[in-house]
Structure formats: C-alpha cells, structure tokens
Chains A and B, each alone.
Chain A
Amino acid sequence: MTPRILPSNVFLGVAPIVLVIAVWQGLVSFGFAPAVLLPPPGFVFGRLLQQLVTWTFQQEIVATLIRLFAGFAIAVVLGVSIGIAAAASPAINAVVRPIVRVLAPLPKVALYPALLLLLGFGHGSKITLVAADALFPILLSTYYGASTVEQKLIWSAMAAGTPRYQILFKVVLPAAMPSILTGCRIGLVISCIVVFLAEMITSTDGLGHALVTAARTFQAVDMFVPLITISLLGLILNALLGAVRSYLLRGFPEA
C-alpha cells in the first residue's frame, strides 16, 4: 500500500499526492479552514523551499537523518542475525521466541524516558529507540524467510559439497532475501516515524524538534514544513530501498 515509484507507475504514484494538495487548496480557498490554522499549500511549499536552503534547517535534517540511519542500521544487523540464528538453531529459537513474544507488544516508546535517563538527551537515546522499534519487524520477517527456505535447495547445496556451516550464508540468507527486504521496508518506515516522534517528545534539534518549536510559537506554516519534510524523506528512502530490492531480487519471480 506504500506509494511505489516505478517508472511506468509514476503517474499513479503522483496522482494521489496531487489530489490531496488539490483538496487542501480547496479547503483553504473555499474558506473551510482559516489560513491561520491551515495555510494554503503554496505557502507551505514556499516556506519549505525557503527553509531548505538555510543552514539551520539543513542541520536539523542532518541530525534527524543521522539518528534514522544509525538506528535503522543497528536494527537491520541485529534483526537479520538474530532472525537467521533463531531459524537455524532450535536452542537459540527457544530463547529468542518467548523474549520476542514478551517485548513485541510492549510500546517501545514507553522506554524512552528510561533511555533519556541512561543515554542523555542527544543522539544516543533516539538511535536506541529507533533501533528498538525497527528491530522486531526485521527480526520476524527474517526468521520467517529463513525458516521457510525450500528444503530441496539446501539438499542440492549439500549434495554439491557445501559444508553445514556455509549453508547459512550460501543458501539460507539469499533465499530469505525477499522476506528480509520486506521486513526492512517496514523497519524503514517505522524508523522514519519513530525518530520524528522522539524528537518531538524531547530534543534539542532535529525535524521533530522543529515542529514542536513552531507549535509553541503558533506558527502553523513552520509546523507543516518539518512534517512534510519527514514524509518526503520517507518516500525518498522508501524508493531507494525499493531500487536496492529490485536489484538484489532480480532473479526472484514476482511475489
């Protein structure tokens, strides 16, 4: 359901955005919403462009991106390795499975105050929160992909002389790639969202912080700008991940 930016479907991808902007403009123009509360799209995008060239705003974007990437990267590394380990070893599975069942429904954001206490108000607490939230979908889809690898693929590799310990890297990991990348996509969306929210709750910089600052001074336009920025960032990153996915999975039949 995420907007897919495929060459042939660019129109389809852009159309809803155009539609929403049109509705937005309509709401303002026809007086359904006062400009003070809902500034017209033109204003907002104008302000966005204005901000994009300022150093301060760019710094906010950089801060957010650093936390986003760091948290996401940690989630990927941990999620994929634990997921594969749990699929390969019943012992690890027995330990990991109940822990995941307990931690998964827990709103990780509730841990945020604890993280703030332990890691301070800067990058560390936010990166950890992002990693904690993005970890589970990646871990679960990796586990699912790794544990449903076709048995005959493994047998074929073993007959060709692959020793047991190499099977994980040469067969299980590549075969589980579609699942892993699906989990990564979800994890990426979550990372974008969580980093923004964490910055909104408490932060000294970042896009979320920018929104909250604007809220305190009742600057509606300046509130929309960071929100749209993070959404755009999310779309761009998603598209990039989609491209990576297309390349990595070029041999696989379409799901």
Chain B
Amino acid sequence: MTLLATSARRAAPVFACIGLLAIWQVASLALKNDSFPTAIEAIRAIPDILGDKESLINILASLRRMAIGFGVAVLVSIPLGLLMGRSRAVAAFFNPLLMVIYPVPKAALMPIIMLWLGVGDIAKTLVIFLGVSLPVIYHSFEGARAVEEKMLWSGAAMGLSPLQRLVRIVLPAALPEVLTGCRTGLVLALITMITSEMIARQSGAGNILFNALDMGQYDTVFAMIIIVGAMGICLDAIFERVRARLVRWSEPQFDMPLSFS
C-alpha cells in the first residue's frame, strides 16, 4: 500500500470524528432547538467541566471504580475461564450458573445490590465487576479450550506440572482470545459504570450528566457526552495498542467490538 494510502487509512477515524461533529453542528443549527446546542457550544463547555473541581472529582471517581472493577474482574475471571476451558469438572460446575446470569442486565441489578449493600462505591464497583467478568470468563474459556492438546502433551513430556502447563502454555496460547474478552469487558465496564451511575445517582460521570439535564444546562449535558465518548475511544485505542504488542505473534483476529450491556 502506498504511503498516501496508509496515512489516509490511519487518519480516517479522525476525519470521521470531524465529519460527525460537523453533521451535529449543521443539524443543531437547522433544528434551532434550545435543548440541542451546537457542537461548538458543547465543545466550549468542556474546559468548564474539567476545570470545575467537583466535576473532576466525580469523573475521576468514576474512572477509579471502573479501574478497580475491571482489574479485579480480570484477575478473577481469567484463571477461572482458563480452568473451565481445560477441566470438565470446573466447567460443569460454573457453566450453568454463568448461563443464567448472562442474559440479566448487570446494571439492572443496581437497585437490588443497593438494597443489600447500600449506595456507594462498593455497590457500583460490584456491578462493574459482574459486568466485566462474564465476557472475560467466556473468552478465556473458549481460548483455553482451543489450545491444541498436542502442545500440552509436549509440555507434559518436558516435565511440566499441570499448574505450570496452565500458566506457561495455556495462558500464552489463549492470550489472543483472552484479550478479545478483555476488550469486550472494557467496553462493558464503561457502559456499566455510566448506566449504574445514571440509575443510582450519587456521584460520577453519569450523575453529572443527569444533574445537568435536570438543571437545564444543556451545554454541559452534551459536553459530558463528548467527554465520555472520548474516554471510551481513548481507552479502547490504548487497549488495542497493548493488545497488539502482547500478541504480535498471533494470526490477525477479526475484531468485533461487540457491546454486551
């Protein structure tokens, strides 16, 4: 591919962003609705939000909850998924449980969890944890299952114990699939975080959004949307970089950025 073509391809998402913002601008000017500020007005409101100490604290709190929920979920789910993939007993034990939890919207459990654990960080982090765990477990499970038996036999012949085989063969071999699960989990973490904050308004980015809505600060509403959107895009891009480096050796995977709420 020529240099021009490659750089055009890389720049395309940027053009897409600008294009979308442009469409927004035109639409808002055309509609002349008070509750639909133009893109430029919304963008102007962004520094105000980021500059406001309380808002910033809220946003950082959101990110913190997301990070903890995601981190703990990944730490728990990857080993669980890998084990399920290689051990029929473990799979048989957990599979039914997971199958039932799967269709339930995790964020919808918010009020119930709030009932049990009160409002506050723990409830929200728990919901994020639940939301992230499922795709990570599932993909780790699939990835571990797909590991070639013969690779493990070679490992056993070399004298590796079952635990060593799990860590040194299954984990690296399943890593591409595991990371796909983590990517889905990341998307879900963000969604679950925002949604749970919108439902259980206490603090956080979702809360800011709805407060602004209630108070008629429409610029702020749209500005927050841009901020949250940017967070999503940045996190995804960063994760993709990390993933690409970690699994440079693998065949290209079809990336389906699926969104499971």
Contacts and interface: CB of A to CB of B under 8 A. Distances in A.
Interface string B211-229: 0110000100110110011
Contact of B259 (A19, A94, A104, A227): A104
Interface in B98-116: 98-100, 102-105, 107-112, 114-116
B68 to A, nearest CB: 18
B185 to A, nearest CB: 12
Interface stretch (B8-16, B147-155, B158-166): B8-16
B50 to A, nearest CB: 16
B228 A107 contact: yes
Interface string A95-124: 001110111111111111110111000000
A218 B110 CA distance: 13
5 contacts: A16-B97, A98-B12, A109-B261, A197-B107, A208-B108
The SS class assigned to the A binding surface is: helix
B254 interface: yes
A227 B254 CA distance: 34
A201 interface: yes
Interface stretch (B69-77, B168-176, B191-199): B191-199
A245 to B, nearest CB: 17
Contacts of B221: 113-114, 117
Contacts of A102: 13, 16-17, 20, 233
Nearest to B138: A1
B99 A224 contact: no
Contact of B12 (A97, A117, A215): A97
Contacts of B116: 37-38
A234 to B, nearest CB: 5
A194 interface: yes
